[in-house]
């Protein structure tokens, strides 16, 4: 069983609604700082706002890249990452090029991720551990076959990313416990993390994902989950 503090540090409190306002972002930051979540996950245009709002807290700012389909070019993703880190983002959730992956061009997908890894490391400052930025790659499991999930997971692992993330939350389905277990089996004894996201709205669902092997939960219901969680 996780303590309340441990549970909080596995939550990325997420606000990726297209109609979200600056006030909504500020409320998200206030609520997240109070509960000491791992991060807030927001659109790139609000990174600076969130960084200022969370100054002095232990909550990191996470933003999305190539969202939600991953179909932008490598140069675009690299620029987005550098810009986000320059604005203060400490975690990056970037979408794999789903279209090229489904076309069977796995090398192009791998190169795409390798360049994002390199951009993240360079922007964060090589050797400056305190400023290191985490890169999570979203593979969007709802569009993949079981074999494709294995291939995508290994590509992400071999490219050097920090996390495999299941879903954007905008696709036809979100995280499942079986997907988490499947990814864990595919990557083997690796230090890479797994972020479960999409449709996680109850304590039972969140705990099921963690028990299946997830290290992080992405959810727009972070406050409700934390407030209702009782480890006793």
The residues assigned a catalytic role are: 93, 165, 195
Separation of alpha carbons 144 and 152, rounded Å: 9
Contact 6, 231 (CB under 8 A): no
Cβ contact 181:213 at 8 Å: yes
CA 30 centroid distance within chain: 20
Give the β-pairing of 39-42 and 11-14. Answer: parallel
Q: Give DSSP secondary structure letters for 49-87.
A: HHHHHTTTSSPEEEEEESTTT--S-HHHHHHHHHHHHHT
Length of the chain measured in residues:
232
Rounded Cα distance between 136 and 92, Å, is 6
Which tokens go with 42?
A: 């927001």
Q: Contact at 8 Å (CB) between 133 and 90?
A: yes
Tokens 């709205």 belong to 201
How do the residues of the chain divide into helix, strand and coil, expressed in percent and rounded to 5?
A: 50, 15, 35
């Amino acid at each position: 069983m996780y303590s309340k503090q441990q549970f909080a540090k596995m939550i990325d409190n997420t606000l990726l609604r297209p109609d979200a306002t600056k006030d909504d972002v500020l409320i998200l930051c206030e609520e997240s700082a109070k509960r000491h979540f791992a991060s807030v996950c927001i659109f790139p245009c609000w990174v600076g706002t969130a960084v200022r709002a969370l100054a002095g807290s232990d909550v990191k700012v996470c933003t999305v890249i190539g969202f939600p389909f991953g179909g932008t070019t490598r140069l675009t993703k690299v620029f987005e990452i550098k810009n986000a880190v320059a604005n203060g983002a400490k975690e990056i959730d970037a979408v794999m090029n789903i279209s090229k992956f489904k076309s069977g061009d796995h090398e192009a997908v791998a190169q795409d991720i390798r360049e994002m890894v390199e951009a993240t490391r360079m922007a964060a400052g090589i050797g400056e551990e305190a400023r290191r930025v985490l890169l999570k790659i979203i593979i969007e499991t709802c569009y993949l076959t079981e074999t494709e999930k294995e291939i995508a997971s290994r590509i992400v692992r071999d490219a050097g990313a920090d996390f495999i993330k299941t879903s954007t939350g905008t696709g036809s389905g979100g995280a499942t416990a079986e997907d988490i277990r499947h990814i864990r089996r595919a990557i083997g004894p690796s230090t890479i993390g797994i972020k479960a996201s999409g449709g996680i709205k109850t304590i039972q669902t969140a705990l099921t994902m963690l028990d299946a092997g997830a290290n992080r939960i992405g959810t727009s219901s972070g406050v409700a989950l934390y407030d209702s969680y009782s480890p006793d």
